[in-house]
A = this chain, B = another copy of it.
Amino acid sequence: MGAAKHDVFQAIADPTRREMLRLLAVKNLPISEITAHFPISRTAVVKHLHILSEAQLVQGTKVGREKIYQLHPDPLVEVKDWLSFYEQFWSNKLALLKYQMEKD
């Protein structure tokens, strides 16, 4: 199991973790360099990386004595798909109007 203890929605709920994803989008980084970007301890950074890892959003690979983290954005498609349902409510004002009138 361990599969879906942390889903992608929960993983991106934290602003620190979102910032980590942004960093890794630019460049693969070891834990120490990631830590340098935040005002929290390395231990705390590792915990955030674990949560992102469980959600399959990042992947860490040991290279020498460093562990290099890499962005793995595929699970974000789930969020995109979820969001797409609600796009009708802001992308089509006419449909929205019709819908609002009919629903009560």
Contacts and interface: CB of A to CB of B under 8 A. Distances in A.
Interface of A: 7, 9-10, 12-15, 18, 21-22, 25-28, 71, 73-74, 76-77, 79-80, 82-83, 85-87, 89-90, 103-104
A80 B85 contact: no
Contacts of A21: 86
A28 B100 CA distance: 9
Q: How many copies does the complex hold?
A: 2
A77 B90 contact: yes
13 contacts: A9-B13, A9-B18, A13-B13, A25-B85, A25-B86, A27-B103, A28-B103, A28-B104, A73-B89, A77-B90, A79-B79, A79-B83, A80-B87
